[in-house]
Amino acid sequence: MAVVKFTFEDKSIKDVTVENVEEGYSILEIAEDNHLHLNHNCGGVCACSTCHVYILEGEDSLEEISDKEEDFIDRAINPRLESRLGCQCVILEEDAVVKVEIPDQKQIIGHEH
């Protein structure tokens, strides 16, 4: 089973490691299932940039970035080379180890989920 390690740009939030993650789930779904706040104004269908995250390790274990996702990342706050949308980062490998940094969610305008 995969392991996803969440860190937070907001250092007042403690790091969280989620073990026993099944392949086929997205970073957004894993965050939601573990009560970690990650905005997703469009409902996780790659139609906004509010679930923007940074993949610090394990990019090769995730579904490849699409042109549509790249377009929305360009609209995110502080995009970097390791930027992805949490709704599109689907775990593809059973033994994946992925490290994700969630940007400060206070900067996101929109719904809290």
Residue 88: inside a domain: yes
Question: What does pTM read for this prediction?
Answer: 0.92
Tens digit of pLDDT for each residue in 25-74?
999 999 999 999 999 999 899 999 999 999 999 999 999 999 999 999 99
Residue 113: inside a domain: no
* Residue partners of 101: CB distance under 8 A and separation at least 6: 6, 7, 8, 9, 53, 54, 56
CATH of the domain at 37: 3.10.20.30
Confidence band of 106 (pLDDT split at 50, 70, 90) = confident
The predicted model gives 87-100 an average pLDDT of: 97
Domain hosting residue 78, numbered range: 2-107
Residue 101: inside a domain: yes
pLDDT value of position 36? 95
> Encoding tokens for residue 33?
């299932």
Q: How far is it, in rounded angstroms, from Cα 104 to Cα 23? A: 27
Residue 112: inside a domain: no
**How many domains is the chain built from?**
1
